[in-house]
Amino acid sequence: MSGLWRAALTALNQPEATLGRDRLLALCTAEIAHAHPTHQEPVAVADVQRIALTEFSLLLDEAHAPTALAQRRNNKW
């Protein structure tokens, strides 16, 4: 997972490199959501979007958040 975080920090420090940036940050937020659940229910797309906004100041669209969440649930990084 440390490689994922290094890539996320790089993406945050290079905002002009948008190709794949939102996808990568969505994967990171899905990981955060699973590592620190706030409810007893399974992690939802809204949780991933909320974390992306609060942690990365990123508005994830309806395509990136569900895809990242599904990849995290299936452990397909």
Query: What would the pLDDT profile of 7-60 be if each residue is shown by its tens digit?
Result: 778 877 876 766 677 888 888 888 888 887 777 778 889 988 998 899 888 888
Distances (CA, A) of 32 to 6, 56, 68: 14, 12, 11
pLDDT score for 5? 73
Print the domain residue range for 39: 2-73
Looking at residue 49, its pLDDT comes to: 92
Task: Identify the CA nearest to 60 among candidates 51, 4, 7.
Answer: 51
Predicted confidence at residue 42, as pLDDT, reads 85
Q: Which residue has the tokens 């940050």?
A: 25
For the chain, how many residues are written?
77
State the total domains in the chain. Answer: 1
Which whole number is the average pLDDT over 67-76?
A: 84
